[in-house]
Amino acid sequence: MNSAHRKALVTGGAGFIGSHLVDRLMREGWSVVVIDNLAVGSLKNIRRWLDNTRFKFIQGDLKDAEVADDAVAGVEVVFHFAANPEVRVGETDPSVHFRENLVCSFNVLEAMRRSETAKTLVFASTSTVYGEASVLPTPESYGPLIPISTYGASKLGCEGLACSYAGTFGLRALILRFANMVGPRSGHGVIVDFIEKLRADPKWLEILGDGTQKKSYLWIDDCIEAVLGLTRRFLESKERVEIFNVGSVDQVTVGGIGEVVVEELGLRDVEFVFTGGVEGGRGWRGDVKTMYLSIERLLETGWKPKHNSEQAVRLAARTIMKER
């Protein structure tokens, strides 16, 4: 794959994962178009590229089909990373995930269907499509998929749309089911939440749920390495649709994350106050209490994470503390 002759669109490219992907694509010689409405993303994440002749930024909303058409024009690969990432918002306004995830994905796929060049989609999905999986670690072949949040449901719907456009209109789709990605530029999530709470009051830390929620966390550089490696592999293959889990080799509890953040802030004698949570100790309704993806297929490609879950959390805490 000759990167110098590739042109990509990164939707949500000013956001957390998207901007790190943009950095890597630009360094590898790709021509990159970014579209972002800046509702969650920030121009500071991609400022270094704004004057580069291989880079184009569009501030626009993918809920507008014409905007999606303009963004897709002339590109070959669409990295669709734009979404509303807040799982909890589904409790109060389920329509957010419908509009920001499903509608935007439909418009992107329609723009690709009309495009003469954009025929390969790399889609950022999520571990939440599995719901409360009875098999851990959970392989890509697990089913039935029964998400318990509107976020997970919307992402599963997007996967279905991508597969249908591959089957009906000749597009190709690489679907990546992400665990929890952490690192610099992250604007939400448990690590950010804990840092903000402890800075407001270093004597105690409120932790949603019973503290035993256990999930996998992956350092952002490891994530981007996996994304690019799988993309190269997919572009060189003849597969119409492929699905890969992208995660870590282990898990860490929410209580354990609290301990790491306390250590990194240099605090002592912090009281942990667990809310008890809902429905068996979840942080909120729709929170998958235990998540552990099988990454055997990904490991077989030669990729290997440089950091485990606790190391990723620790590195993220250090970098986020410096940013805030």
pLDDT tens, residue by residue, 13-23? 999 999 999 99
Question: Could you tell me if 305 and 144 are in contact, meaning their C-beta atoms sit under 8 angstroms apart?
Answer: no
What is the dihedral angle through the alpha carbons of 302, 11, 151, 315, rounded to the nearest 10 degrees?
A: 50
Pair 263, 209 in one domain: yes
- 143, pLDDT greater than 90: yes
Pair 91, 111 in one domain: yes
Can you give the pLDDT at residue 122?
98
Domain annotation covers residue 296:
no
Mean pLDDT of the chain: 95
Domain's final residue, options 246, 264, 298: 246
Residue range 274-299: mean pLDDT, rounded: 95
Domain annotation covers residue 299:
no
Can you give the pLDDT at residue 87?
67
- 179, pLDDT greater than 80: yes
The token pair at 266 is 């240099």
Can you give the pLDDT at residue 86?
72
Domain annotation covers residue 261:
yes
Spatial CB neighbours of 5, under 8 Å, sequence gap ≥ 6? none
Can you give the pLDDT at residue 3?
63
Domain annotation covers residue 300:
no
Closest CA relative to residue 317, chosen from 254, 265, 251: 265
Pair 239, 315 in one domain: no
Domain annotation covers residue 298:
no
Residue range 48-77: mean pLDDT, rounded: 98
| Position 2 confidence tier, pLDDT thresholds 50, 70, 90 | low
Pair 144, 85 in one domain: yes
How far CA 162 is from CA of 29, 83, 237, in Å, comes to 27, 15, 18
Segment 294-297 long-range contacts (CB within 8 Å, at least 24 positions apart): 294/137, 294/138, 294/139, 294/140, 294/245, 295/137, 295/245, 295/246, 295/247, 295/248, 295/249, 296/137, 296/139, 297/139, 297/140, 297/244, 297/245
Output 208 or 91, whichever has higher pLDDT.
208
Domain annotation covers residue 48:
yes
The DSSP secondary structure of 267-305, one letter per residue, reads --SPEEEE---BTTTBSSTT--SB--B--HHHHTTT---
Pair 76, 116 in one domain: yes
- 263, pLDDT greater than 60: yes
Pair 198, 113 in one domain: no
Can you give the pLDDT at residue 188?
87
Question: Could you tell me if 166 and 240 are in contact, meaning their C-beta atoms sit under 8 angstroms apart?
Answer: yes
Pair 8, 131 in one domain: yes
> What is the total count of domains within the chain?
2
The letter for the amino acid at 150 is T
Tens-place pLDDT, residues 154-177: 999 999 999 999 999 999 999 999
What is the dihedral angle through the alpha carbons of 244, 246, 252, 258, rounded to the nearest 10 degrees?
A: -140
For 194, the domain range is: 186-215+250-290+307-323
Distance CA 173, CA 178 (A): 15
Read off the CATH number of the domain in which 112 is found: 3.40.50.720
Can you give the pLDDT at residue 1?
54
Question: Could you tell me if 169 and 113 are in contact, meaning their C-beta atoms sit under 8 angstroms apart?
Answer: yes
Pair 128, 211 in one domain: no
Pair 17, 41 in one domain: yes
Read off the CATH number of the domain in which 280 is found: 3.90.25.10
Pair 175, 190 in one domain: no
Tens-place pLDDT, residues 101-129: 999 999 999 999 999 999 999 999 999 99
Can you give the pLDDT at residue 256?
98
How many CB atoms sit inside 10 A of residue 89's CB?
18
Pair 141, 211 in one domain: no
Residue range 193-204: mean pLDDT, rounded: 97
Residue range 181-187: mean pLDDT, rounded: 95
Can you give the pLDDT at residue 16?
97
Residue range 94-107: mean pLDDT, rounded: 93
The letter for the amino acid at 308 is N
- 100, pLDDT greater than 70: yes
Pair 200, 126 in one domain: no
Can you give the pLDDT at residue 4?
61
Can you give the pLDDT at residue 90?
56
Domain annotation covers residue 236:
yes
Q: What share of the chain is helix, strand, coil (3-state, %, to 5)?
A: 40, 20, 40
This prediction has a pTM of 0.96
Can you give the pLDDT at residue 136?
98
